[in-house]
Amino acid sequence: MIGFWILSVFLIASAIWCVSARKPVYSVVALLLNFAALAITYVGLNAEFLAVMQIIVYSGAILVLFVFVIALLSSGVAPFAAGPNRLPKAIAPAIFIVLIAFGFLYYALRDSSVTLNVLKGQSQLGPVGTAGVFGSVADFGKALFTVYLLPFEVTALILMVAVIGVVLLAGDQTPYVPTQKHARQVEREMREAILKGGER
Amino acid sequence: MTVPVVDYVALSSVIFFIGVAGVLLRRNPLVMLMSIELMFNAANLLFLTFARAWVNNAGHIFAFLVITVAAAEAAIGLAIVVTVFRTEKNVDVDEVRALRG
């Protein structure tokens, strides 16, 4: 309980720091702290595999990608000039939207069975990490590769489409069009080079 | 040693709204993308909370899929930012006018 409150204070503080930091690099550091705290929260929720995935995929892959792009964009010119502060104009609609959303949440959770469920200690579910126990890696893997095999394969497809899209968007922009004309030109150049070599 | 589900829901929605505020208020597309990651993570936290509450690992699977989609989204978003920066030499979302509707 105490751990949950410490973690939630840490999560909210790092999220606010991430959103309000002046330099994007500080945002990345704040996001890293946020993801680490979230991974600890996942362990508390019996999701050990997801906690490790959180560290590997988010902190290891996505944040490194962010750092690379920030380094790429920040070299040479300064693309992030300080602009006018938008907060004063936006604060009233923001509070309005948040109140409406929390109202919906309260209405949805007001007297549902969800509020009656409590998260008990891990001893209720057996020792952590053993096969067949809820949340263990074995349990997760069995479900992923039997019942949820199709979503898993679709995810692989999504990732491949994303990679192709990224290469098309940000890859080498010079077009490579191997036409017959080019092939003939290459052939001619090669023949000339061979002839020249023969003369020597 | 019990934490009510509602506390997790409240924590998740607070993080989600911080992410929404980041997307709406910041003009730096990188920080906007990071705010989107915050929102993804708030959703993931809810998935795992309810998976734990109803001892059902479908939520774990779905959180896993969300992580993958978030990775794809970050890669494509950053590629778009880099492409815009290449042509405009500027990535301020208020200044970039090439795609104005």
**Closest listed residue to residue B45, CA positions, set B100, B8, B18, B71:** B8
- Residue A109 to residue B6, Cβ atoms within 8 A: yes
Task: Report pLDDT for A135.
Answer: 73
pLDDT band of A152, cuts 50, 70, 90: very high
- Per-residue model confidence (pLDDT) at position A118: 45
A86: three-class secondary structure by DSSP? coil
- B51 pLDDT higher than 90: no
Between B13 and A77, the higher pLDDT residue:
B13
Average pLDDT along chain A: 79
Residue numbers in B near A47 (CB within 8 A): 48, 51-52, 60, 63
**pLDDT over threshold 80, residue A121:** no
pLDDT band at A198 (very low <50, low <70, confident <90, very high): low
What kind and span of H or E run contains A42? helix A24-44
**Per-residue pLDDT at A55 exceeds 80:** yes
The average pLDDT across A165-191 equals 75
Report the pLDDT value the prediction gives residue A51, as an integer from 0 to 100. 92
Closest CA to A4 of B49, B55, B32, B92: B49
- Alpha helices (H) along A45-86: 48-53, 63-74
Widest Cα–Cα separation across chain A = 94
Residue showing tokens 């995929």: A57
| pLDDT of res. A154 | 93
Confidence of residue A110 (pLDDT cuts 50, 70, 90): low
Residue B47 is predicted with a pLDDT of 92
Interval A143-162 mean pLDDT:
92
pLDDT at position A114 over 70: no
Q: What is the pLDDT of residue A116?
A: 40
**Is there a contact between A4 and B38 if contact means CB atoms under 8 Å apart?**
no
Inter-chain CB proximity A12 and B71 less than 8 Å: no
3-state helix, strand, coil in chain A (%, to 5): 75, 0, 25
Q: Is B93 on the interface with A (CB under 8 A)?
A: no
Measured distance CA(A41)–CA(A51) in Å, rounded: 8
Residues of B in contact with A165 (CB under 8 A): 76, 79
